[in-house]
Amino acid sequence: MPGREEFASMGPALRVPGLRLEGKDAVGRSIEYHRPSSLADACELLRQFGDTAIPLAGGTDVVVDLRRGAKAPKHLVSLAGLHGLREISLGGGMLRIGALVTPAQLQSSEEVLSSRPELLDAVGVFGTPQVRNRATVGGNLCTAASCADLTPILLALDARVGLATPEGPRGIPLVDLFGDHRATLLRPGHLVSEVMIPAKGPGEGAAYEAFGLRATNSITVAGAAAYLLLEEGQCIGARLALGAVAPTAFLVKAATEVLVGTEGGDAELEEVGRLAAVEAAPISDIRGSEVHRRELVERLAVRAFQAARRRAQ
């Protein structure tokens, strides 16, 4: 993406306020950069330009796609001026994370540590320190990559996302955000504004386990996030989410069916791992074969539930 000094013309005025610059992308296509000053203006710009525009948050994925020609928008709508989306708050039994919060912010947040420390499992395997300082929670979700590390743990924690739309704010379950690989179900003019997670209660535990080819900056080959709710030694709630082994991260229905009503012992966890490997739909690529990924899912699911059980107890 060209720097600000490379844009040549301010062009005609927009119908909404905010910075507008004009230039070309890395392969010579015309592209306009907009920096609205409010969330409502950002939604209006995205509605106006429709499929020819994409929002720009941290840029760790978007800029790479622009440079290699994988995306060719006519308009970039920067969210950098929307400072209200950089906040983390805890109240009313809900942890609220703004869409522009970075993984590094999660790592240092007292609200996260006190209410949902399980999120740090995913942050710990999230790229390099430089990426953790630049990427955003909303961007990681809206990229809709199946290997995104935050998505499985947020699915396991029953997260919801707040949406800003031209018609007003609304909320949806995170599981309803995703369409296919690298595609969300967001309509033009709709933006993820925050993520909402129920704060941790008694008897709850969650964990995320991931396998990558290198200790740092590796793309996850397979990931599993588990959630357990125990009451008097019995499992009364369970969720398992998998990443990097299907077109999108997804919840494994069999986990709830097998575990609820049991003590969540090792035999039940092994059965969940086996069923999760069956329900997965991995591909073979340079990072791992389909068979290898199914084997990973089986073991990672068990390990994630064992860690969740320790935390719940």
- CA–CA separation, 93 and 201 (whole Å): 9
- Residue that is last in its domain, among 62, 78, 94: 78
Q: Are residues 57 and 28 in the same domain?
A: yes
Q: What is the pLDDT of residue 5?
A: 31
Mean pLDDT, consecutive 10-residue stretches, the chain (313 aa), reads: 33 42 58 93 96 93 85 92 96 98 97 97 90 94 93 98 94 95 93 98 97 75 97 97 96 97 97 98 93 97 98 95
Q: Domain containing 59: what range?
A: 4-78
Which of 198, 217, 241 terminates a domain? The answer is 198
CATH classification at residue 41: 3.30.43.10
Same domain, 121 and 188: yes
What CATH number should be reported for the domain holding residue 127? 3.30.465.10
CATH classification at residue 232: 3.30.390.50
For 16-58, the pLDDT digits (tens) are: 444 554 555 555 568 899 999 999 999 999 999 999 999 999 9
Domain count, the chain: 3
DSSP secondary structure string, the chain?
Answer: ---GGG--B--SPPSS-SEEEEEE-TTS-EEEEEE-SSHHHHHHHHHHHGGGEEEESS-TTHHHHHHTTS---SEEEE-TT-GGGG-EEEETTEEEEETT--HHHHHH-HHHHHH-TTHHHHHTTSS-HHHHHH--HHHHHHT--TT-SHHHHHHHTT-EEEEE-TT--EEEEGGGSB-STT-B-PPTT-EEEEEEEEPP-TTEEEEEEEE-SSSSSPPPSEEEEEEEEEETTEEEEEEEEEESSSSS-EE-HHHHHHHTTS---HHHHHHHHHHHHHH-----BTTB-HHHHHHHHHHHHHHHHHHHHHHH-
Domain identity same for 226 and 307: yes
Residue finishing a domain among 198, 228, 252: 198
Q: Is residue 90 located within the same domain as residue 63?
A: no
Closest residue by Cα to residue 44 from 166, 149, 209, 140: 166
The answer to whether residues 162 and 189 belong to one domain is yes
Over the Cα atoms of the chain, what is R_g? Answer: 20
What pLDDT was estimated at residue 129?
Answer: 87
Residue 311 neighbours by CB distance under 10 Å:
17
- The pLDDT score that the predictor gives to residue 90 is 98
Q: What is the pLDDT of residue 163?
A: 98
Its pTM stands at 0.89
What digits encode the pLDDT tens for the residues 85-122?
A: 999 999 999 999 999 999 999 999 999 999 999 999 99
CA–CA dist 160, 156 (Å, integer): 11
Specify whether 26 is located in the same domain as 58: yes
Task: Give residue 72's pLDDT.
Answer: 87
Bridge partners (DSSP) listed for residue 173? 160
